A and B are shown apart, each in its own frame.
Chain A
């Protein structure tokens, strides 16, 4: 008979959940994770990781198509959709196994099943093997994640109309595609399929794509995608999806004009909803608002000893936010000294389309809306030696400083490898550096990171290379 009594149980084995469990185990808590599907959650199995594997394929494919620009002759480049997807699944599988190993290593018990609150300190688990378990806990973290939102009239059917899930494992690649929604998920798939040759149309309800990003980044991205041949409708509503035998005709209204677009497949990427159902939250003090569990700055729900982290607890819907929250709440439970609430403005966001987008903190518009006086610096890839050598001269890095204090309020990047660069500004923001320290930092030459330096210099009228 397995042990059923734990100091901490985490419901959901995604990045927030399994990281919280590991931290708890490190702190000496007897810990369990309940996972109904795959350890690693959406991120690792159906999100961040497998899409990165797919995008790596499209990136290499795109480079090879331009091989002659690098002095290489490559002929008859083709791809095998089956192998492309296989590689992506293999990567996800490898990492999911890695998480299993981490659970074993940290002596964390994993229950494969669905959990439900069953009175104070009790959790009923309907195991995947059809048995039932009742577990007891001192502390419970809900980390059940989120899933794609279905809008009425645009419901995904998994065949012609996909969510990210089907888009990731297509039996064959569509020749034409409509992506509804231009957030990170929508735009990454749009970029992947476009690079591999599909005719891609993007419809975004807001007046610009990548709506959470700085307006200049949105505008630059739109131009770049259109140059690649994407059709983009902003301020657009998709009112009707007419399904044919092997295609879909969508009615798109944008800029006062209505038109019909017929495509092989549609990807619906219109946001997510929290997984709050069947958790037994009814009758507890756990509050749900718009499919998300309401928490305070410490991830407390209001129900004694029940906490929520990650996507189910609200935006930003990012794996690294969930992981950070998980560590924070576990340390708070354990009474570790010096635990701080998470600062949203210090969470970077990355989108792996081509060109890549990365950002942290306030956009210029948001900073101004707060009434702050700002200094803005911008530096283009074309002014950077490494970018030219890489054959990646498109993009820019923009930094926003508080004119009064020199605080780095935000940074916004678009261009090659910026998702690997943004962490520099994350550190800067976490350490509360001002422009002075960033200016005094030596950036290695020749690297793309030099643009981060130049952007700061530009904000103070001191840029060197333009």
Chain B
């Protein structure tokens, strides 16, 4: 007998959802407990596990299909010995017409859902996502707290539990704001590295202030510690000459002004990095224990400082967008980031991060990689420096950038070649138009 897999109700209020992603394909053997797909509701994205085991006979609902009703048949499992879906047997109701025809993605997309998926992270067996699934330690939360968190789209990992032994209970979740969970944030400064229990006792004196951790602070601490402890970083620094870039920016802004855009140096850097990543797909990648994931899309995370802490909104497909478009998007994202109004998918995922402290006059720094990404570019101030050109001292506008690289994914020479390409785009901006 074949087994119908139905669209699950992920919250009591859910009536329909989007089949965001299939983790299995026809012919795959599925074990009970294995993640088979991701379902996106209006509130959160969650992984769905198989209850039964068998072989995938048919994916009834296409990836990307929206408005799939709860309890509609989404796939059919074949039991051992069965070879095909019996013609009339399952008689699945025709799936609602997918509003977005899902192009079969040859490469997995960045795992936009990974870190904020509400249930405690589970090792995703067949999942090609490298993200939180593999990093998470068990989160203790009451069933009711989990239910409310899932419903409100709150990341349990970002909360401090007030129950027995730090268990997250209803009151903790009710106090949290939806979407308050920050994106994996890159460190803006090398000194930001937070630590686990301090090795040295902390001596306090009267007048010292104890500031409770915010949810965002805890996520930053956890993710950065995890990155520094588990990701083998190495660093490559280049000094880029940006006179041509500044001139191009001037010229672009003369035109872009009519669109209501004002392109910044950072917008140009986003574009240049995106182009360079497109040229070096091996750098636009993530490490997993099983395999390397090379992302099909170039999605650039950009570190934005807010009152609540760092957050990294994403400019998606930045290699395909014009700088004016990037600039408009970035302004919108940064504005809403500061108001805490970003949607989950606007800061989750991304394949590469840029952190720019130039506006503070920082000349050069090393940033901490934002897992599961493989690289982060720390951008310093653009300033006039005396440099040697053809035996002469001349003044040029220079900008130092330091690339932090996950050595598991990218070796030194590969990283250096990436920077070479980046230099070619920055120093000859016209190349970005080619």
Interface string of B149-174 (1 = CB under 8 A from A): 00100000000001111000110000
In the assembled complex, the CB of B47 is this many whole angstroms from the nearest CB of chain A, namely 17
A219 to B227, CA, bound (A): 63
Which residues from chain A contact B143 at a C-beta distance below 8 Å?
431-434, 436-437
Asked if A445 lies at the interface with its beta carbon under 8 angstroms from chain B, I say no
Complex contact B148–A405 (CB within 8 A) = yes
Chain A residues within 8 Å of B170, by CB: 407, 432
Q: What's the minimum C-beta distance from B410 to chain A, rounded to whole angstroms?
A: 44
How many Å from the CB of B123 to the closest CB on chain A?
A: 22
A434 to B13, CA, bound (A): 15
- How many chain A residues sit at the interface, stated as a range, is 10 to 19
Is A211 part of the binding interface, using a Cβ–Cβ cutoff of 8 Å?
no
Among B152-200, those with CB < 8 Å from A are 162-165, 169-170
Number of A-B contacts (CB under 8 A): 36
Query: Contact at B147–A405, with CB atoms within 8 Å?
Result: yes
A residues near B163, Cβ cutoff 8 Å: 340
Q: Is the CB of B165 within 8 A of A406?
A: no
Is B145 an interface residue when CB atoms closer than 8 A count as contact? Answer: yes
Please state if A432 and B12 are interface contacts (CB–CB under 8 Å): no
Residue ID in chain B nearest A407 by CB atoms: B144
Closest to A436 in B: B143
Interface hub of A340, A405, A406 (most chain B Cβ within 10 A)? A405
Q: B142 near A: Cβ within 8 Å?
A: yes
Pair B169/A432 contact, Cβ less than 8 Å: yes
**Size of B's binding interface in residues, CB under 8 A:** 15
State whether the Cβ of A338 lies closer than 8 Å to any Cβ in chain B.
yes
Q: How far is the CA of A338 from the CA of B144 in the complex (A)?
A: 20
By beta carbon, the residue of chain B nearest A401 is: B12
Contact mask A404-417 → B, CB, 8 Å, 1/0?
11110000000000
Residues A404 and B151 in contact, CB atoms below 8 Å apart: yes
Of residues A432, A433, A434, which shows the largest number of chain B Cβ atoms within 10 Å of its Cβ?
A432
Q: How far is the CB of A163 from chain B (nearest CB, A)?
A: 40
CB neighbours of A338 from chain B (8 A): 164-165
| A434 and B147 contacting across the interface, CB-CB below 8 Å | yes
B144 lies within 8 A of A433 (CB): yes
Which chain A residues lie closer than 8 Å to B145 at the CB level? 432
B13 touches A432 (CB 8 A): no
Q: Does A205 contact B (CB under 8 A)?
A: no
Q: Taking the nearest CB of chain A, how far is it from the CB of B259, in angstroms?
A: 45
Other 6 A-B pairs with CB < 8 A, given A338-B164, A405-B147, A433-B142 = A340-B162, A403-B12, A404-B151, A406-B12, A406-B147, A432-B170
Which B positions have Cβ atoms within 8 angstroms of A? Answer: 12-13, 142-145, 147-148, 151, 162-165, 169-170
What 5 A-B pairs are tightest by C-beta distance, nearest first? A432-B142, A432-B144, A434-B143, A433-B143, A437-B143
A-B contact pairs, 5 of them (CB 8 A): A338-B164, A340-B163, A405-B147, A432-B145, A432-B170
